[in-house]
Amino acid sequence: MSPKTAQELALPVGVTLDRFIMASQSSYPYATGELSQLLRDIALAGKIISREINRAGLVDIAGGNGTENVQGENQQKLDIVANIRFIRALKNGGEVCAILSEEDEDIIHTGNDHGKYVVAMDPLDGSSNIDVNVSIGTIFSIYRRVTPVNGPASTKDFLQGGRKQVAAGYILYGSSTMLVYSTGEGVNGFTYDHSLGEFILSHKHISSPSEGKIYSVNEGHYNGYPSFVQNYITFCKDNGYSARYIGSLVGDFHRNLLKGGIYLYPSTVKDPKGKLRLLYECYPLAFIAEKSGGKASDGFGPVLDIIPTSFHQRSPLYVGSGSMVDQVVKA
């Protein structure tokens, strides 16, 4: 019997994330609750980061001014703060044996060798937008480890490939803070209620529109794009599409997921692999795209089918409404 989706669980909009996680877990006959706890840890770190971001205009985010916080740490830029918060939440939670972060060259061993999971993440994506008060996000990807429990995690735990993700998602710090994730059975969105301190189910069973009229791309790099991308951009202009580009992947992806659209970060002559990182930017968003009925391609095939070779490798990304992705790659 396959696990039930939120739809089948008949959970109404308005239930808390905790209740939702508990109800979903109970539909997996052999679930031990570890993945559930891991998702709660991520949500907790997200709440803390949301709080820090909301204070960004009031505190020194340039860092390095010698001040210390209550933990005795130097105050630093928010992307470093987010990294520290996530690592701490995942270490304390105990379910994760190792973490790969955009902020660190090598994997971080949490000391919880009994943990069954590894997490790849970009703790604060689009961080160049922080100091101008524009939406930013956290992106995460979860795998069940392939190395034996009670020993150290290794490279191969992280290089399993996108299809092996057991869960993935993002937290959008926008006009409100939202957690969107999937454990493979549908995609659900939770909006953070500051007054309650809870994520509340607000976007149940998100379904990506198969068509859209929004394209999101940095047109400043147009001259360096492959001709199929240039052709597609011309098609969008000729057909009255709207250009919307925040330069914050989570925000651009989220808007297109709800409204229908495509996000493109192509290869360029200068950067043949594009800019985005496969393991903690492209894979998790490709997972959410596919689980909601959309698509993600690197221009040659599904992003989730790319065989990973290194932690921080890059990949072009065309993600969003299914028929738009199909069209761009054959334009």
Give the C-alpha separation, 33 to 36, whole Å: 5
Q: Which does 247 bind (CB under 5 to 8 A by kind): Mg ion, ligand AHM, none?
A: ligand AHM
Query: Could you tell which of ligand AHM, Mg ion, none binds residue 41, using a CB distance below 5 to 8 A set by kind?
Result: none
Residue 76 engages ligand AHM in binding (rule: CB under 6 A): no
Q: Is 247 in the site for ligand AHM (CB under 6 A)?
A: yes
Q: Sheet containing 177-182: give its strands across.
A: 108-109, 96-101, 117-125, 136-144, 165-173, 177-182, 188-193, 198-203
What's the CA angle centered on 170, arms 168 and 176, to 5 degrees?
A: 150
What are the tokens at 280? 């903690």
* Residue 56 buriedness (CB in 10 A; 0-12 / 13-18 / 19+): middle
Please count the residues of this chain forming the interface with ligand AHM, following the rule CB under 6 A. 11
122 binds ligand AHM (CB under 6 A): yes
Residue 224 or 308: the one with the smaller Cβ distance to ligand AHM is 224
DSSP 258-291: HH--EEEE---SS-TT-SSBIIIIIHHHHHHHHH
Q: Does 249 bind ligand AHM (CB under 6 A)?
A: yes
Q: Does 126 bind ligand AHM (CB under 6 A)?
A: yes
Q: Is 42 in the site for ligand AHM (CB under 6 A)?
A: no
Distance separating alpha carbons of residues 238 and 240, to the nearest angstrom: 6
Which stretch, 169-177, 180-188, 235-243, 248-256, contacts ligand AHM (CB under 6 A)?
Answer: 248-256
CB of 328 to ligand AHM, least distance (A): 16
What's the closest the beta carbon of residue 221 comes to ligand AHM, in angstroms? 7
Does residue number 248 form part of the binding site for ligand AHM (CB under 6 A)? yes
Q: Name the amino acid, one letter, at 32.
A: T
Task: Give me the least distance between CB of 214 and Mg ion, in Å please.
Answer: 21
Q: Which residues bind Mg ion (CB under 5 A)?
A: 122, 125
Residues 159-218 that bind ligand AHM (CB under 6 A): 218
What's the rounded Cα separation, in Å, for the pair 29 and 15? 22
- Least Å distance between CB 177 and ligand AHM? 17
Name which position in 5, 36, 127, 160 contacts ligand AHM (CB under 6 A).
127
Shortest distance, CB of residue 103 to Mg ion, whole angstroms?
10
Backbone angles phi, psi at 220, to 5 degrees: -60, -20
Residue with smaller CB distance to Mg ion, 125 or 290: 125
x/- track of binding to ligand AHM for residues 251-270 (CB under 6 A): -x------------------
Tell which phi-psi region holds residue 70, choosing left (phi > 0), alpha (psi between -120 and 50) or beta: alpha
* Residue closest to Mg ion when measured from CB atoms: 125
The only residue of 166, 184, 275, 308 in contact with ligand AHM, by rule CB under 6 A: 275
SS3 at position 84: helix
Interaction of residue 290 with ligand AHM, rule CB under 6 A: no
- Angle between helix axes 78-93 and 34-54 (nearest 10 degrees) is 150
Nearer to Mg ion, 125 or 252 (CB): 125
Rg (CA), the chain: 19
**19 near ligand AHM (CB under 6 A):** no
CA distance 264 to 245: 10
Residue found by looking up tokens 């006009």 in the block: 175
Contacts to ligand AHM by CB under 6 A: 102, 122, 125-127, 218, 247-249, 252, 275
